[in-house]
Amino acid sequence: MTKKILMVLTSHDKLGNTGQKTGFWAEEFAAPYYTFTDAGAEVTIATPLGGQAPIDPTSKMPDFQTAATDRYDADEVAQAKIAATEKLSSLNERDFDGVFYPGGHGPLWDLTDSIDSITLIENFLKAGKGVATVCHASAALLNVKQASGEFAINNKAITGFSNSEEEAVQLTNVVPFLLEDELIKRGGDYQKAKDWHAFVVQDGLIITGQNPASSALTAEKLLKQLAS
Express each pLDDT in 10-28 by its tens digit: 999 999 999 999 999 999 9
pLDDT at res. 181 = 98
Q: Report the alpha-carbon distance of residue 207 to residue 35 in Å, rounded.
A: 15
Buried b (16+ CB within 10 A) or exposed e, 197-220: eebbbbeebbbbbbbbbbbbbbbb
CATH superfamily ID and name for 4-227? Class I glutamine amidotransferase (GATase) domain (3.40.50.880)
pLDDT at res. 117 = 98
Calculate the alpha carbon distances from 14 to 64, 70, 177 in Å: 20, 25, 15
Task: Give the CB-side neighbour count of residue 45, counting CA atoms within 13 A.
Answer: 25
Question: Between β-strands 200-203 and 206-209, what pairing exists: parallel, antiparallel or unpaired?
Answer: antiparallel
Tell me which residues of the chain have a pLDDT lower than 70: none
Buried b (16+ CB within 10 A) or exposed e, 1-39: eebebbbbbbbbbebeeeeeebbbbbbbbbbbbbbbeee
pLDDT at res. 90 = 97
pTM for the full predicted model: 0.98
> Mean pLDDT in the chain?
98
pLDDT at res. 191 = 98
pLDDT at res. 126 = 97
Q: Is 123 left (phi over 0), alpha (psi -120 to 50) or beta?
A: alpha
pLDDT at res. 97 = 98
pLDDT at res. 7 = 98
pLDDT at res. 99 = 98
Read off the pLDDT of residues 51-97 as tens digits, 9 standing for 90 and up: 999 999 999 999 999 999 999 999 999 999 999 999 999 999 999 99
